[in-house]
Structure 1
Amino acid sequence: MRKTAALLLLSLPLALTRPARAQAPVRYELAFPNAVHHEARITVTFRELPAGPLHVRMARSSPGRYALHEFAKNVYDVAATDARGQTLRLTKPDPYGWDVAGHDGTVTFTYTLFGDRTDGTYVGIDGRHAHLNMPATLAYAQGLEQRAAEVRFGLLPGWTVASQLQPDAAGTTYSAPNLQYLMDSPTSLGEQQVRSWQEGGRTIELKVLHDGTPAELDAYANQTKKVVKEAAAIFGGLPAYDFGRYTFVANYLPQTSSDGMEHRNSTSLTSRRPLRGPGALDNLGTVAHEFFHSWNVERLRPQDLEPFDFQRANMSSNLWFAEGFTQYFGELLLRRAGVYTDSAYCKEALSGMVDAMLTMPGPKRYSPVHMSQQAPFVDAAAAIDPNNRSNTYLSYYYIGAANALALDLELRARFKTDLDTYMRTLWEQFGSKQQNYAPTRPYTLADLQRVLGEVARDTAFAGQFFRQHITGHELPDYATLLMPAGMLVRPAHPGQATLGARLQFNPADSTATLGTTLLGSPLYLAGLDREDVVLRLDGQPFISAPELQKRLAGHKPGDTVQVEVRTRTGSRTATVTLQENSDLEVVPYEEAKRPLSRAQKKFRAAWLGSKAK
């Protein structure tokens, strides 16, 4: 053994007795020499390592996503060397990682990463930008999770950095205190357009890639400022962001996929919609939802997601609250900020919540807790076999938001309090206190029920609400709940006859192929199912959706029609009884030509009016 190597090995035990944050940071260097072909070349240096193999991994899951995504599938050209540049032997213990043996206390691990999906989960790289979700980007070593990390980006000409990572004074190296924070830090590289302002003693910054004009970004920033103020008003102020700033990492280029992903001091926003016309409103809805997450789920956090495990699917029973209540408040923020009118709020937000809850089969069968537990199978999860979720599932976003709506209205009508107060109380008890970049006291399902009892001053009500609507699947009475606000639940298409089917029309032979038929729908009751081919309706071929609607307009609910079909068991003619279109909508009384009382105006204003000072 050479003397220098012996001294190094003797010093390692002393070095490793230091706290993890005092040990040598993990250093990353990202270069983009082949960006046009969607590749990055990444180098990771691990130093002050104990003796024995180093276990390097790629994450299998990502914070804010609950399914497995197997990011190692886009990694290749892997190599490892020691401090002297000598090649080290790599073995693969499983599909997700590499073991590095024979090192001298230092391992330099290099690989090529492919990425061509710009969203909150994956990696998008091209000649114009790099949008990096860190679990999909950075390899890490088991046992070093508490060490700090330093990242250097090899920027192409004109590129700058948008990230919640903390830059050094020179702005060349970005740091994270530990692996959890590093993996929670999406980063966008490109020609950023920046708008920043002060709010409540914090810096809020929009760092945007887009093809629009500066004026369009100015208008968008002004709308974002209103949303930020309304969100802060609910909680009594902004969170204490770890480095004094919150960053909207926004990519609105044509090559992106629509997504929003919350993070501790930032959010990843991706959309191909521009910052003008209807697209701007859609994008702003994502801004409102994700910004609300900087309280709810990032700091006010469920115990069953803390800490996040990068090597497995993460299941939570509380996504109806973490995501669903955030969905409700995201839309409400747009109304309070004046982005929506009352009519638009009913159309864009309330109608969808109420219709999904009352007309889809899933909420009649399963609870919000059950829907939350399904996230590893539905949250951007990939599978090739058909499923029956049309009849068994409603997204925890929708079922949670719809229950938030019901609870808010009931608290206002019966208990002289509101959901704002509930969220603020939860924040004070479970979110406001943080330590080491994590909540000191994550909440449980029982905590959510207990605090509801405190806010309503009625523990019996809280227990009943949870039994009926959260762990149970009893549907709220929205017609009664919305009445004090002067809003009406009514059929969206009264008297319209329908087959209640999802059809794919086949112009080549004037047929239509069925999707999954819904429980209780006309075709379901007639014994028809997915992939059955409809040949004729009352002797006439299927040509197009408009032609079908024209024919159905000549019928009324309760009429029977003869449907010729080709099924897996052969061809037959089924007698189908038409039903009334079950779609529901929520409208203000004014649109329904109903008088709006003074009490209803007051109730609505207290609910939907601005809370920002």
Structure 2
Amino acid sequence: MRRAAVPLSLALVSALALSLPGVASAQAPAPAVDWGTPASPGQAWPGTIALTVDATDTARRVFHVRQSIPVSPGPLTLLFPKWIPGKHRADGPIHKLAGLRIRGNGRPLHWTRDPGEVFAFMLEVPEGVASLDVEFDMLTPTSEAQGRVVMTSDMLNLQWNTVALYPANHAADRIRFAPTLVLPPGWQAGTALELQARSGDTLRYGEVDFETLQDSPVFAGRHFRRVDLDPGARQPVHLDIVADAPRYLEASDAQLKAHRALVQQAYRLFGSRHFDHYDFLFSLSDRMGGIGLEHHRSSENGVAPGYFTDWDAQVASRDLLPHEFVHSWNGKFRRPEGLATPNFQVPMRDELLWVYEGQTQYWGMVLAARSGLWSRDDAMAQLALVAATYAVDRPGLDWRSVLDTTHDPIIAMRRPQPWRSYQLSEDYYNAGALVWLSVDAKLRELSKERRSLDDFAEAFFGGDDGHWEVKPYDFDDVVATLEGVASFDWATFLRSRIEAHRPPLDGLEAAGWRLAYRDTPSPFHKALLAQRKLADYTASIGLAVRLEDAVVSGVRWDGPAFDAGITEGAILLAVNGYAFEPALLDDAIKAAQAGGPLVELVVKHGDVVKTVAVDYREGLKYPHLERIPGRTDRLADILKPL
């Protein structure tokens, strides 16, 4: 919108007013203060910050926080972490912090919030005060409507960045913390932190820097089990499970064998271990919110409670642990330069997420298959679903690129989108995985099947065994490593896919397979739909619908349902004159294909009820993969265990 021109007479009046005595002029706002950039990057904060979190108030779902911060007299700014690693955006839940009180020598100190940076609390430390006592409450969601639930009557997920303030203009790894956690009676906890002592339900962990503390969350619960996934290893790996009930902790030997194989397959892929120990923090719950968040020596993973006890039905969840484990190498040890920030106030740059997340998405699928968490057919079925998404359901690539979607965590903050297929939403994950399939196939072709993306993974993410200092990278580093595996113009190859306005589907055919459609979904697709309680007509009439309430959960932009005027959020009331059921819609789509009447739907959106005809006669379509005769089957080698 253009700014309207100011009439000359008003401009003159304003100028005269500013020249008259006694008439105050508006002052320009003060420039924003940079509270993030360290004044002296190597300077350590003097002393250690004691942090105690009381997590016993599970009825109200509140973490009660106490800190003792060594200080010197003078101005001080304390920060609440804003830019959270792994979330790729300014996601610190500052709105849930309440009851902040700061005292020096027992006396309350006045603090003010920086209006230009609401995560910053400013105060003056009086003479004679060597330590501040800080108290506040972290009010976690009491329902899903308020955000992800992190505390229930039986378990909790503590992320240290939500329960700590830290001094401004210091690097996070130069600030020392001594953390203590108080749990409800009898609860057990899993974390990458080293437990120094436990007295009753008070757990005292070893002193660490703030970067390590933030990177070491806790899962704790009443029903807890710890499984050794690499018995006798010098760098142990454990699965720390909390569940809604004891029965969900039961796992068969075959199930645990696949998880142990995941660890070994990752080691064979990367050829190194960048941790002294690793903990999969794993919640099996429909009460605490699900999660998948990477850390260097642990990961936060949350799925439905029947992961083990309803194994076949939960097949679609089994690439979560592989994905997050890969992040220990890709994203934590090796990290894009724009994400390797000195603390949690310096803004992040996300443009290499197609490597950080896209290649991790690729390896997550591959390692799920190599370890036996997925069958080969499961992995192929998932790849078919990903390919179909970009063959059919992402017309937004006409105006955006995969590279541009790397900014989505900051643009959209992971809020729901009304037209995802047109707007796009973090497509660097799955479209990025397809790009890396193309790279893998090309490496195999160039080397006459002797080299592959496995060699890139070992060269780029491996080495320095036993070390876990962050090693940043940029686009040129990626290209140089690929050229070391097989000489080629990799810069052009990559840019032609991540910057293009077309789906990156060429890797599938280069691997010897192509996308095909059948009138029934694969067993994997059926299990996925049952798990998500969906009916999926995306590849046919262009919509998906929730089974529990018949609400349309997605509509393909420019698809048949879109052309008929159906939008996300509408309720399907009837199909060809009968109350909606998925089987009736299946039959109506088949009848239209056979020359019968078009599918007629009665839909309700808000207060409007209307009848629409969907102009579509190509039948039910569900994605599958089929072999291309005469082409080398590279997918078979990609998915084969090392």
What TM-score comes out, normalization by structure 2 length? 0.77
User: Residue 501 of structure 1 aligns with which residue?
Assistant: 543
Post-superposition shift, 1:582?
8.2
> Which residue identity is paired with 1:42?
V
User: Residue 509 of structure 2 aligns with which residue?
Assistant: 480
What is the CA–CA distance in structure 2 between the aligned matches of 1:32 and 1:276, rounded to whole Å? Answer: 29
What is the CA–CA distance in structure 2 between the aligned matches of 1:506 and 1:334, rounded to whole Å? Answer: 30
Question: Which stretch of the first structure deviates more once superposed, 330-339 or 163-172?
Answer: 163-172
Spell out the pairing of 1:196-595 with structure 2 (5 A cutoff).
196=228, 197-198=230-231, 201-210=234-243, 211-212=246-247, 215-216=250-251, 220-239=255-274, 241=275, 244-274=276-306, 275-278=308-311, 281-307=315-341, 310-311=344-345, 314-347=348-381, 349-360=382-393, 361-378=395-412, 381-382=414-415, 387-394=418-425, 395-416=427-448, 417-428=451-462, 432=464, 438-440=469-471, 442-459=472-489, 462-474=490-502, 475-477=504-506, 480-483=509-512, 487-493=513-519, 498-502=540-544, 517-525=555-563, 529=567, 540=577, 543-556=580-593, 561=598, 576-580=614-618, 583=621, 585-587=623-625
Post-superposition shift, 1:479?
5.7
Contact 2:85-2:339 at 8 Å conserved across structures: no
Question: Matched residue of 2:130: which SS?
Answer: coil
- Shift of the 481–37 alpha-carbon distance from structure 1 to 2, 3 Å rule, reads same
Question: Matched residue of 2:236: which SS?
Answer: strand
Question: Matched residue of 2:357: which SS?
Answer: helix
Post-superposition shift, 1:364?
4.8
CA deviation profile, 1:185-216 (whole Å, cap 9, x unmatched)? 11123343222234763111222212336651
What is the CA–CA distance in structure 2 between the aligned matches of 1:362 and 1:17, rounded to whole Å? Answer: 45
> Which residue identity is paired with 2:639?
L
Contact 1:342-1:588 at 8 Å conserved across structures: no
Residues 1:156 and 2:184 aligned together: yes
- Shift of the 396–339 alpha-carbon distance from structure 1 to 2, 3 Å rule, reads same
> Which residue identity is paired with 1:86?
R
- Shift of the 415–464 alpha-carbon distance from structure 1 to 2, 3 Å rule, reads farther
Residues 1:88 and 2:109 aligned together: yes
What is the CA–CA distance in structure 2 between the aligned matches of 1:434 and 1:376, rounded to whole Å? Answer: 34
Match of 2:165 among 105, 116, 139: 139
Unaligned segments of structure 2, at least 5 residues: 1-38, 521-536
Match of 2:639 among 598, 608, 611: 608
Question: Matched residue of 2:179: which SS?
Answer: strand
User: Residue 28 of structure 2 aligns with which residue?
Assistant: none
CA deviation profile, 1:454-503 (whole Å, cap 9, x unmatched)? 322112xx1332132122244333563232xxx45311339x99432346
- Shift of the 516–335 alpha-carbon distance from structure 1 to 2, 3 Å rule, reads closer
- Shift of the 309–583 alpha-carbon distance from structure 1 to 2, 3 Å rule, reads farther
Post-superposition shift, 1:358?
1.2
CA deviation profile, 1:301-349 (whole Å, cap 9, x unmatched)? 11110116534763411112211211111111121123333222212x2
- Shift of the 41–342 alpha-carbon distance from structure 1 to 2, 3 Å rule, reads closer
Unaligned segments of structure 1, at least 5 residues: 1-15
User: Residue 140 of structure 2 aligns with which residue?
Assistant: 115
What is the CA–CA distance in structure 1 between the aligned matches of 2:614 and 2:211, rounded to whole Å? Answer: 56
Contact 1:116-1:124 at 8 Å conserved across structures: yes
Question: Matched residue of 2:86: which SS?
Answer: coil
Question: Matched residue of 1:212: which SS?
Answer: helix
- Shift of the 534–218 alpha-carbon distance from structure 1 to 2, 3 Å rule, reads closer
RMSD of aligned C-alpha atoms?
3.8
What is the CA–CA distance in structure 2 between the aligned matches of 1:98 and 1:583, rounded to whole Å? Answer: 56
Contact 2:63-2:163 at 8 Å conserved across structures: no
Post-superposition shift, 1:129?
3.0
What is the CA–CA distance in structure 2 between the aligned matches of 1:218 and 1:450, rounded to whole Å? Answer: 43
Question: Which stretch of the first structure deviates more once superposed, 30-39 or 102-111?
Answer: 30-39
> Which residue identity is paired with 2:151?
I
Residues 1:179 and 2:213 aligned together: no
> Which residue identity is paired with 2:134?
F
What is the CA–CA distance in structure 1 between the aligned matches of 2:546 and 2:314, rounded to whole Å? Answer: 31
What is the CA–CA distance in structure 2 between the aligned matches of 1:488 and 1:338, rounded to whole Å? Answer: 24
Post-superposition shift, 1:18?
13
Post-superposition shift, 1:256?
1.9
> Which residue identity is paired with 1:183?
Q
CA deviation profile, 1:540-566 (whole Å, cap 9, x unmatched)? 466333323322221128987486889
- Shift of the 299–532 alpha-carbon distance from structure 1 to 2, 3 Å rule, reads closer
How many pairs align? 565
Question: Matched residue of 1:307: which SS?
Answer: coil
What TM-score comes out, normalization by structure 1 length? 0.80
What is the CA–CA distance in structure 2 between the aligned matches of 1:255 and 1:50, rounded to whole Å? Answer: 45
Identity across the alignment (%): 18
- Shift of the 87–514 alpha-carbon distance from structure 1 to 2, 3 Å rule, reads closer
What is the CA–CA distance in structure 1 between the aligned matches of 2:640 and 2:143, rounded to whole Å? Answer: 36
What is the CA–CA distance in structure 1 between the aligned matches of 2:69 and 2:287, rounded to whole Å? Answer: 35
User: Residue 195 of structure 1 aligns with which residue?
Assistant: 227
- Shift of the 55–186 alpha-carbon distance from structure 1 to 2, 3 Å rule, reads same
Contact 1:315-1:376 at 8 Å conserved across structures: no
- Shift of the 36–488 alpha-carbon distance from structure 1 to 2, 3 Å rule, reads same
> Which residue identity is paired with 1:150?
A
Post-superposition shift, 1:296?
0.6
Post-superposition shift, 1:122?
6.0
> Which residue identity is paired with 1:463?
A
Contact 2:439-2:453 at 8 Å conserved across structures: yes
Post-superposition shift, 1:80?
1.6
- Shift of the 66–217 alpha-carbon distance from structure 1 to 2, 3 Å rule, reads farther
What is the CA–CA distance in structure 1 between the aligned matches of 2:232 and 2:266, rounded to whole Å? Answer: 11
Post-superposition shift, 1:65?
0.5
Contact 1:259-1:269 at 8 Å conserved across structures: yes
Contact 1:51-1:105 at 8 Å conserved across structures: yes
Post-superposition shift, 1:362?
3.2
Residues 1:37 and 2:60 aligned together: yes
> Which residue identity is paired with 1:181?
T
Post-superposition shift, 1:24?
0.7
Question: Matched residue of 2:319: which SS?
Answer: helix
User: Residue 8 of structure 1 aligns with which residue?
Assistant: none
- Shift of the 19–88 alpha-carbon distance from structure 1 to 2, 3 Å rule, reads same
- Shift of the 426–153 alpha-carbon distance from structure 1 to 2, 3 Å rule, reads same
User: Residue 51 of structure 1 aligns with which residue?
Assistant: 73
Contact 1:466-1:472 at 8 Å conserved across structures: no
Contact 1:561-1:576 at 8 Å conserved across structures: yes
Residues 1:68 and 2:90 aligned together: yes
- Shift of the 200–472 alpha-carbon distance from structure 1 to 2, 3 Å rule, reads farther
CA deviation profile, 1:415-468 (whole Å, cap 9, x unmatched)? 33211112222225xx74998x6424x111232233223322112xx1332132
> Which residue identity is paired with 1:609?
K
